[in-house]
């Protein structure tokens, strides 16, 4: 199956070729249970960034760190996090691929079929969100793409509503990682989901991607998490530039961004989607600590 995670795996493979991944030792303090988190930010981690670690092992480490779940799992993996007291916080469910998705009407039937099959499975596994994409422009105008994406989401929104699951269209940068991707600015994504006007159709606001494309993170997030304009359903992180650790080598002040999100009362999830260059679990734990505001 031509899924978006395969391209992400290719990035991971090239980025971690020199990294030594060793079997996980128990985290410090693990014998007394996970650390007590403030839980103002409900944190998760994207599976594809840790492909060299077996999923069960990643779930065990995530639980020890105090995470809430694992992001971007396929249907045959939906139930695995629950063995560790976690959930899958965002699932692949047949919502197209990064280059081929909602902005072309010829993709709508396949997306609908995928969602009809998998969204009920996601609901049974207590998964709150499934992912979809705009698709690439390939010469199409943004106006035409928006009309098509609105039509596609209107076609599937009742599936999400009936199952209590939210469809999230991801915002990605077209400058560095995904050339020609259409949903590369917040305003375009908001235009689409606002027209669909369903509490179960929102945006996946990827902070890494939107920092590259437009910056102004906190003001944009606040404008679209307000009670009368709650268009963001999920967040991803990643250090800018490079999509690596959330540390002092990159430009986003993560604790400030997280504080702004927490102060809105946002009850969804923030999933870490950075490619670690150091010990992967230590890097993940440091990110979780930083964002636990």
Provide the pLDDT confidence category of residue 120 given band limits of 50, 70 and 90: very high
Q: Is residue 33 part of a domain?
A: no
Model-level pTM? 0.89
**pLDDT 10s digits, 235-250:** 999 999 999 999 999 9
Q: Do the Cβ atoms of 41 and 291 come closer than 8 Å?
A: yes
Is the predicted pLDDT of residue 214 greater than 80, yes or no? yes
Is the predicted pLDDT of residue 277 greater than 60, yes or no? yes
**pLDDT 10s digits, 73-93:** 999 999 999 999 999 999 999
Residue 45: CATH number of its domain:
3.20.20.150
Q: Is residue 23 part of a domain?
A: no
What does the pLDDT average to over 264-288? 97
Q: Is the C-alpha dihedral spanning 205, 211, 215, 216 positive or negative?
A: positive
- Rounded to the nearest integer, the mean pLDDT of the chain is 91
Residues paired with 272 in a beta bridge: 45, 237
Q: What is the structure's pLDDT at 23?
A: 43
**Strand, helix or coil at 120?**
helix
Q: What is the structure's pLDDT at 27?
A: 43
Q: Do the Cβ atoms of 104 and 114 come closer than 8 Å?
A: no
Residues paired with 181 in a beta bridge: 136
Provide the pLDDT confidence category of residue 16 given band limits of 50, 70 and 90: very low
Q: At what angle do helices 254-263 and 280-291 cross, to 10 degrees?
A: 50
CB crowding 256-273: b at 16 or more within 10 Å, else e: ebbebbbeeebebbbbbb
Q: Is residue 199 part of a domain?
A: yes
**pLDDT 10s digits, 23-66:** 444 444 445 567 899 999 999 999 999 999 999 999 999 999 99
Is the predicted pLDDT of residue 100 greater than 90, yes or no? yes
**What separation in angstroms does the CA of 247 have from each of 206, 253, 271?**
17, 9, 16
Provide the pLDDT confidence category of residue 1 given band limits of 50, 70 and 90: very low
Provide the pLDDT confidence category of residue 255 given band limits of 50, 70 and 90: very high
Q: Is residue 4 part of a domain?
A: no
Range of the domain at 141: 40-291
Q: Do the Cβ atoms of 174 and 216 come closer than 8 Å?
A: no
What does the pLDDT average to over 107-124? 98
Q: Do the Cβ atoms of 250 and 239 come closer than 8 Å?
A: yes
Q: Do the Cβ atoms of 166 and 126 come closer than 8 Å?
A: no
The total domain count for the chain is: 1
Quote the CA–CA distance of 75 and 278 in Å, as a whole number.
Answer: 30
Nearest to 239 by CA among 174, 191, 195, 291: 291
Secondary element (H or E) of residue 170: strand 166-170
Q: Is residue 9 part of a domain?
A: no
**Which residue stretches of the chain are H helix?**
4-15, 55-65, 108-124, 142-163, 186-196, 207-213, 217-225, 254-263, 280-291
Q: What is the structure's pLDDT at 168?
A: 98
Distance of CA 97 to the CA centre of its chain: 14
Q: What is the structure's pLDDT at 4?
A: 44
Percent of the chain with pLDDT over 70: 89
**What tokens were used for 105?**
């009407």
Is the predicted pLDDT of residue 6 greater than 90, yes or no? no
Q: Is residue 21 part of a domain?
A: no
Provide the pLDDT confidence category of residue 224 given band limits of 50, 70 and 90: very high
Residue with the bigger pLDDT between 12 and 117: it is 117
Q: What is the structure's pLDDT at 32?
A: 58
Q: Is residue 10 part of a domain?
A: no
Q: Is residue 44 part of a domain?
A: yes
Secondary element (H or E) of residue 44: strand 42-46
């Amino acid at each position: 199956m031509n899924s978006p995670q395969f391209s992400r795996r290719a990035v991971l493979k090239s980025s971690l070729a020199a990294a030594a991944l060793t079997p996980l030792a128990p985290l410090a303090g693990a014998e007394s249970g996970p650390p007590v988190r403030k839980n103002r930010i409900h944190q998760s981690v994207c599976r594809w960034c840790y492909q060299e670690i077996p999923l069960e092992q990643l779930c065990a480490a995530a639980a020890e760190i105090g995470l809430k779940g694992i992001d971007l799992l396929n249907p045959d993996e939906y139930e695995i996090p629950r063995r560790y007291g976690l959930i899958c916080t965002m699932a692949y469910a047949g919502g197209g691929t990064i280059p081929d998705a909602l902005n072309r009407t010829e993709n709508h039937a396949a997306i609908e079929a995928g969602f009809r099959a998998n969204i009920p499975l996601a609901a049974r596994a207590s998964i709150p969100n499934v992912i979809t994409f705009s698709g690439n422009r390939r010469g199409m105008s943004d106006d035409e793409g928006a009309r098509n994406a609105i039509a596609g989401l209107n076609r599937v929104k009742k599936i999400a509503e009936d199952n209590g699951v939210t469809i999230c269209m991801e915002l990605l940068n077209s400058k560095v990682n995904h050339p020609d991707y259409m949903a590369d600015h917040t305003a375009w994504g908001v235009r689409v989901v606002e027209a669909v006007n369903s509490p179960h159709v929102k945006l996946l606001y990827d902070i890494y991607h939107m920092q590259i494309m437009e910056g102004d993170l906190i003001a944009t997030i606040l404008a679209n998490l307000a009670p009368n304009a709650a268009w963001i359903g999920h967040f991803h992180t990643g250090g800018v530039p490079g999509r690596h650790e959330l540390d002092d080598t990159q430009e986003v002040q993560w604790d400030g961004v997280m504080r702004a999100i927490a102060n809105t009362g946002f009850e969804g999830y923030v999933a870490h989607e950075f490619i670690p260059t150091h010990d992967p679990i230590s890097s993940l734990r440091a990110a979780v600590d930083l964002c636990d505001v």
